[in-house]
Structure 1
Amino acid sequence: METEKRKSKGILKEIREWTISLGIAVIAALLFQNYVYAQSEVQNVSMQNTLIAGQRLIEDKWSYRFHEPQHGDIVIINGPESELRLIKRVVGIPGDVIDIQSGEVYLNGVKIDEQYVKGRTFAGSVPIPFTVEEGQLFVMGDNREHSMDSRALGPISRSSIEGKAVLRIWPLPKFGALKE
């Protein structure tokens, strides 16, 4: 009888320890995904040929806490500018002047080399040339003829940037870091 009580207490103690350990692991995983790295899926064609619908990415939510987005970064946008989460490329940062002439983008008066772009770039409803103000970014999709971006939505608030797409994990043949 005494032995059965010890066994019963031992089993309950082990169950409690496992429950606490699993609970801590689940909480740590959720915190990690919400604040450090997360998985995202490309939903549309606005970033072709760089990213294609159905591809899965790893999003870095952490590094923009220490530095600002840079030209060429591929960012995930989740804010009031659009009902959808968007994936776009940073073209302009605060202080930049964006101009579009003859299907080409000029940054501060200099034509930028955008080898990743598909199609020609046309101005949208935002008056061009456009000066990016503090706390804003000017973003565009790589598939310029089929992208809902800053040309139509206007500048994106820095606070709407959820993170930076850093790694393509699916499909496996395309696995690797995302480059500018």
Structure 2
Amino acid sequence: MKSFIKEWGLFTLIVVIIIVSRWLIWSPVTVDGHSMDPTLQDQEHLIMFRTQNIKRFDIVVAGEPDGTGKEKLIVKRVIGMPGDTIRYENDILYVNDKKMDEPYLQEYLEAFAKDKLQSIYTYNTQFQARAQVSTAFTVDTNFQPSFTVTVPEGHYYLLGDDRIVSQDSRAVGSFAKEDIKGKIILRMWPLNRISLF
């Protein structure tokens, strides 16, 4: 018995630590859809760190009802923190009247200026049609390029990086702190896109 414990004790301890940390600290998540393109692509596998320390521009996992009463997990970017006033004016973000850069949007902003993303959205004619009628890359639910939102205390304003196709806080409102499950810290699949966040 001693030899068994000596040989397998460390291995067993490591397995237990992994299982417990998986339950309490981290969780695997799979991207479902195109709302975070090009930052995160459909079916990429991520690691979420369970934390309440959320900062602006973190990529987070949030829970929302899926229409059947079950919770659906979504991956979005934090744009507005509790109490913020968020304003977009023709694709320029202002937070509490301060202009903010969104470098992660650069590729799609350039594509929108070039051909309204028609060459990128060749895989989906609905996306092409939606982009065609958009007057800016970031518009509200009424396709207005200028809009202002005040984030309630204890809530976060979440947007997808592909603003044309993302269903996010513009449509469903802000997310309560308890709906934020954690933030993305690692893309682990596909192997050629492994990266830390």
TM over 0.5: yes
Superposition pairs for residues 6-45 of structure 1, below 5 Å? Answer: 28-45=17-34
Residue type of the partner of 1:173? N
Which residue matches 1:94? 82
Name the Cα RMSD after superposition: 2.7
Deviations 1:41-89 (A, max 9, x none): 111100001000111111111x32xx3x111100001244875210000
Specify every segment of 5 or more residues in structure 2 that has no aligned partner in the other structure, as ranges: 110-136
In the aligned structure 2, how far is the partner of 1:45 from the partner of 1:132? 25
Structure 1, 105-114 or 52-61: larger mean CA deviation? 105-114
Using the TM superposition, give the Cα deviation of residue 93 of structure 1 relative to its aligned residue in structure 2, in angstroms.
0.4
The percent identity for this pair of structures is: 33
In the aligned structure 2, how far is the partner of 1:112 from the partner of 1:123? 18
Residue type of the partner of 2:45? R
| TM-score with structure 1 setting the length | 0.76
8 A Cα contact 1:79 1:161, kept in partner: no
Matched, 1:103 2:122: no
| TM-score with structure 2 setting the length | 0.70
Provide the secondary structure at the position in 1 that maps to 2:157: strand
Matched, 1:49 2:38: yes
Superposition pairs for residues 1-180 of structure 1, below 5 Å? Answer: 28-61=17-50, 63-64=51-52, 67=53, 69-80=54-65, 83-117=71-105, 118-119=108-109, 120-124=137-141, 128-178=147-197
Bigger Rg, structure 1 or 2: 1
Distance 1:110-1:148 versus aligned 2 partners, 3 A rule: same
8 A Cα contact 1:81 1:153, kept in partner: no
Structure with the bigger RCO (C-alpha within 8 Å, sep 6+) is: 2
Residue type of the partner of 2:56? H
Distance 1:80-1:157 versus aligned 2 partners, 3 A rule: farther
Write out the 4+ residue segments of structure 1 that deviate beyond 3 Å after TM superposition: 24-30, 79-83
Specify every segment of 5 or more residues in structure 1 that has no aligned partner in the other structure, as ranges: 1-9
